Structure formats: C-alpha cells, structure tokens
Structure 1
Amino acid sequence: MTIRDMPPTHAAQAVLTHRMSPAAACVAPRVSVSRLSRLYEVMDLMLDSVGDPLALGSLAASASYSSYHFDRIFRELTGFSAVEYQRKRRLRRAAHLLRHEPDVPVGRIAQDCGFPSNAAFAKAFRQQFGMPAKSWRDGGWRIYMDAQVGRESDVSFFVAEPGELTALNAPYCAPAPGSVAARVTLRQLPAVQLRYQRFFGQSGAALSLACNAFICTQESAGMPRGAPWYGVFDEDPGFTGEREYCYDFGFDAGVLADPGLGLRVLPAGMVAILEFHGEWPRFRAMYEDWLEHQSVWRLDATRPHVQKVARTEAGGWQGWLALPVKRR
C-alpha cells in the first residue's frame, strides 16, 4: 500500500514518521503550534542576520523561552545547539560566497559572515570543510561536494510518488553541454506567502516520501489536486550534509488555511527558471551548464532556491526550478 492509498489518519501518521528526524520527532508533543512557529521564525531571523552577533537571550525571548529552555528545545528540534547551528550556517554562507563571488576578498567574506577575525574564520572553515578557504575557492568545493553528499550533491527537491524513488536516487548524469542552458529563462518572480512544513535532517528518499505524504494529507483536507506546491532550500544543497538539511515544503497561503503550519514569505526577485514536465531536473545541472558560464548573472545567496510543482491531469508532475540570481 502506498501513502496515497492510506486512510487520512494513517497518512497523517506517515507524515509524522517521515517528516521529522529522530531528534525532532520527540519535540512535537511538548511544543505548541504557536511556539513551534515562533521557533521557525527565529531560525529564519538567524539566517537573515547571519553576519550579526548571536544574541541568544533575545532569540529565546522572541520564542517565549528562557535561554536555557530555548537552547534545549532548539537542539531537540534540529539536532544542534543554537550557537552551533548558526556557526554552521555562517560557514555554509561563506562557502557559498567563496564559490560564487570570486572577486570578493576572503577577509571581506569572513567579516560579512559574522567572524570576528580572519584567523577565527580560517580555523572554523578548515574544521568544517577540511581545507583552507583559498583551496575551496580554487575548486576544492567540487571535491568536497562530491565526497560529502556524492549521491545527492546535485539534489533537487523531491515530491515524486514512492514508486519513482529509483529514478530519483539514480547517480547524477551530467546533461549534454548546453542542453540545460538552452532551456533556462530569466524571470522576475513576485513574492509568495507560503504555508509550509519544515523538515530537518532528511534528504533523498526520506525527504521524497515525507513531501509526498504531506501532499496526500493536505489534499485529503481540501487542497485541490492541481494546486501548486513549493519546495524551498535557503542554502546550496551541495554543501549541506543530510543531518544539516533544513527544507521547507508547502503551498500558497491563499489556497488553503492551515494555522498548524509555518508562515513565510518567498521574496520577489530575478531568477533563472528551468521548466520541466515528467522529469526531475537537478539544480546541479543549472549551476554547471548555465550559471558557471555566465558573464552577466551570478547567484544571489541572500534568496532561496525554489521548486514549484503541480500535478498534471494525467497524474504526473510538472513545474520549474528557480535559481536566485543578480547582475554581476
């Protein structure tokens, strides 16, 4: 029996089983919906202010916790303390900028990502990625990416049916040179208010099943079958290990009211779009076949990667991948 064949109550249980890491699963009964939503908002604030000092007390107060209880609940939810979580996000932002902003000095990137000195940044970066920042910029990022998440370093955001997991988990096969670039278009996307479920510590098949179960549950609650769904990843998936994955999946807040979900706004901005129908293209192909050959556009690390998908009348999937870009 697939998740789609389950009764609604069983499908809902499947969502709980697949959508949470073991650490996150134990936190749900003890955290109210409103407080969980505030924790999500705090995490988003941490990402938006990645270069600022981490005021743990202020973050805890905004989520209606003491500093001690905030850090404990945060660790149960994500698997990391708030300080460790922010440090890892700072380092991934730095890795992102080192790859995509080759003309920005390393010291400036360290400062913009919240490190008090170049020495502190150099030590933390080497500990996280196993090489100096200069080696990373000179191509070491590719070695790390393939070794760290080789099976999924090219990961896109999955919502496919459980029966399609074999195709989704197949090793990456680079497209013919220029074939993806020829399909990429540039578009100004409007802002979207999103109701979402946040997934921690999952990728690949587990994430695909979790998103599929989430869709089934929402459709049983009244979501139209042809409505669009959005997958959102705030960082480069290739630099993020499975334990550190933080992925939002949801729908336009105007389509269905569900106060039990988080609420965020996908910012407006210029994106590179790759449309697809009946296939599951990868962001890696967009990076390597289009972005890395661009003289006009570069990645905008301040906005998220987004996938939009919808069911076709025949029951398949179509949509697009959106890579946030800005002018050089």
Structure 2
Amino acid sequence: MTAKLPSQVSRTSRLYEVMDLMLDSVGDPLGLSGLAASASYSSFHFDRIFRELTGFSAVEYQRKRRLRRAAHQLRHEPDVPIVRIAQDCGFPSNAAFAKAFKQQFAMSAKAWREGGWRAYMDQQVGRESDVSFFVAEPGNLDVILAPYCAPEPGTVAARIEVRMLPAVALRYQRFFGQSGAALSIACHTVICEGERLHGIAPGAPWYGVFDEDPGFTGEDEYCYDFGHAGGAADASLGMRVLPAGAYACLDFRHEWPRFRSMYEDWLDRQATWRLDSTRPHIQQVERDCAGQWRGWLALPVKKR
C-alpha cells in the first residue's frame, strides 16, 4: 500500500467517521449539509471527496445502506410490518420506500419478503462475491475462486455456538468495491505490512468486519474493514469499536467456511435466534505456530 500524505490521512479519517455516523443513524434524517458539517467541509466539497472515496454521492450511499438494512429486516424479521421497517430505515412514507426498494432490488418489498431475496442473493453471490472475509495466501486462492457449495445438512449447525463477545477497539483499513481474491490479497498485504512495519507479532489476531449481509450487497458497494485490536497507533488507519453482544460463532482451522452456510444450515432452521442487523458480521483470523490459518466467524444475533 502506498503511504498517504498527512492531509490525505486526515481527510480519509474524517470521511470514515461520517460513514460510521451514517450507518449508526440509518433511521435518522441526516441531510447533506449536516453530514458535511460533521466532517468540517462545505456541502459541495464534502460530496465531491465522498464520491472520490466510495464511487457514490453521500446521499446515494446513505439511501443504499437504508435499503439494505430494510432488506435484512424483511428477510429476518417476518413479523415486523413493512411500513414499520420503512420508518425505522428513515423513509418518510411507505410510497417513497416502495419506489426506492423496487429501484434497488427490482421487486417489491412484499415479493422480497416472500422469498425473492433468495434469487437476488444467488445472482449476487454467483460470482466470487460471497466474501466470508478470507485471508488466504496469494498463492493459494483456489478456495476463494471456487463456487459456493452447500455443506451437508446439519454439519455447520452442529459446530455453531452462541457466545457473548466483548467489545473490541479496532484499528482498521477500509476497502471499497473489492471482494473475493482481490480483497483476500489486500488483507494479506495489510497483515504483512503490520508485522513488518508496525511490530505486530506473527500469530496476533486480525479482524474482518462487514456491516451488511454480503449476499445483498453488489460488488461495487462492498465496504469492508480489516485490522487489528489496539496496538501501536497508526495514523493511516481508522478506529472503531466492534460492539459487544450475542454472536453465533463458528470456529475453523485450516479451512475457510462461509457466512452463507451459517445462514442456511443454522439461522434459517432454528426458532430461538434471528439476525441482528444493527451489528456487524465479524471474522477473527490468526496464524498458528505452523503458519496455518485458524479463527472464527461471528454472526450477530438476538432472541426472537
């Protein structure tokens, strides 16, 4: 990674903070002027540099995040009325929500809830975009490039344990519009440079964070954070706190399981837990003494 100038680091850090504010305030009416002011920019300048960083205007970016939050709730909270979900996700009227949802997902919210989400997801993850936050070695990418293959029924569910995870302060590098092999190589580079330049010990844990369901997010809209807990300050990295709470955890060793298998083999088949769309998906990875990868996937859940 090319080193950033101090002015670039400061600008990027401020934009990260605004993006996190947008995510935490999906249901609030955040206008462009307010977002710009929170980053100490004029509206025009803020929108320009936000578009440079993400490929979207700030208003469009927030609209897409609201719609994906609604898509998650429609799938995982079937008892919540559509009009309530529209309100919770910041839409002023059900009509405005219905129009925006159909523009984004090419179907109505009702059709999505009744199973349309599956066809949409299959289309999205039919490429290499079913990221479960791999950090495979650049010379061993076959597992990432391989198409998704559903596990034998019950084999993943038998390994899942719901745990209360503590909050983690994370220093991270943020990636946009990367998935599959490109994202894997980028994360591997972050690890190598962290160990070489910042004294992070080999075998230290690293965290991958995705705030939305990977199956509902187009490749060019991916926003993925990867980094380490605490350690020496690095001005080029962002800072966020991974929230504590209940997570369905799948431990792995010398393999790369996918979040999709956790959804399909466990989450959709039990009656106690449902996805908590207000908290992120998390992966922890580390090398063992033989240099092999191990870690866990954590799916945020709440009681039904």
TM (normalized to structure 2)?
0.97
Q: Which residue number corresponds to residue 296 of structure 1?
A: 272
Name the CA distance, whole Å, in 1 between partners of 2:302 and 2:32: 32
Q: Which residue number corresponds to residue 13 of structure 2?
A: 37
Q: Which runs of 5+ in 1 are unaligned?
A: 1-11, 17-27
Helix, strand or coil: the match of 1:88?
A: helix
2:54 aligned to which of 70, 78, 83: 78
Q: Which residue number corresponds to residue 171 of structure 1?
A: 147
Helix, strand or coil: the match of 1:256?
A: coil
1:143 aligned to which of 86, 108, 119: 119
Q: Which residue number corresponds to residue 240 of structure 1?
A: 217
Asked whether 1:274 is paired with 2:250, we answer: yes
- Whether contact under 8 Å (2:128, 2:144) holds in the other structure is no
Q: Which residue number corresponds to residue 190 of structure 1?
A: 166
Q: CA deviation at 1:31?
A: 4.7
Asked whether 1:325 is paired with 2:301, we answer: yes
Helix, strand or coil: the match of 2:289?
A: coil
- Whether contact under 8 Å (1:299, 1:326) holds in the other structure is yes
Q: Which residue number corresponds to residue 23 of structure 1?
A: none
- Whether contact under 8 Å (1:195, 1:251) holds in the other structure is yes
Name the CA distance, whole Å, in 1 between partners of 2:128 and 2:86: 28
- Whether contact under 8 Å (1:188, 1:269) holds in the other structure is yes
Matched residue type, 1:237: P
Q: Which residue number corresponds to residue 228 of structure 2?
A: 251
Asked whether 1:214 is paired with 2:178, we answer: no
Q: Which residue number corresponds to residue 199 of structure 1?
A: 175
Q: Which residue number corresponds to residue 97 of structure 1?
A: 73
Helix, strand or coil: the match of 1:219?
A: helix
TM (normalized to structure 1)?
0.90
Deviation by residue 1:261-293 (Cα, 9 ceiling, x = unmatched): 100000100000000000000000000000001
Number of corresponding residues = 303
**Off by >3 Å, runs of 4+ in structure 1:** 28-31
- Whether contact under 8 Å (1:169, 1:205) holds in the other structure is yes
Helix, strand or coil: the match of 1:164?
A: coil
**Identity value in percent:** 75
Q: Which residue number corresponds to residue 240 of structure 2?
A: 264
Matched residue type, 1:124: A
Name the CA distance, whole Å, in 2 between partners of 1:107 and 1:299: 20
Matched residue type, 2:258: R
- Whether contact under 8 Å (1:159, 1:208) holds in the other structure is yes
Q: Which runs of 5+ in 2 are unaligned?
A: none
- Whether contact under 8 Å (1:188, 1:268) holds in the other structure is yes
Q: Which residue number corresponds to residue 108 of structure 1?
A: 84
- Whether contact under 8 Å (1:146, 1:153) holds in the other structure is no
Matched residue type, 2:225: D
Name the CA distance, whole Å, in 1 between partners of 2:6 and 2:228: 26
Q: Which residue number corresponds to residue 48 of structure 1?
A: 24
RMSD: 1.3
Name the CA distance, whole Å, in 2 between partners of 1:31 and 1:206: 27
Deviation by residue 1:175-221 (Cα, 9 ceiling, x = unmatched): 00000000000110000000000001100111011101111111102
Q: CA deviation at 1:35?
A: 2.5
- Whether contact under 8 Å (2:203, 2:286) holds in the other structure is yes
- Whether contact under 8 Å (1:198, 1:248) holds in the other structure is yes
Name the CA distance, whole Å, in 2 between partners of 1:211 and 1:153: 15
- Whether contact under 8 Å (2:129, 2:219) holds in the other structure is no
Matched residue type, 2:183: L
- Whether contact under 8 Å (2:176, 2:221) holds in the other structure is yes
Asked whether 1:306 is paired with 2:288, we answer: no
- Whether contact under 8 Å (1:151, 1:172) holds in the other structure is no
Name the CA distance, whole Å, in 2 between partners of 1:208 and 1:292: 28
Deviates more, 1:94-103 or 1:144-153: 144-153
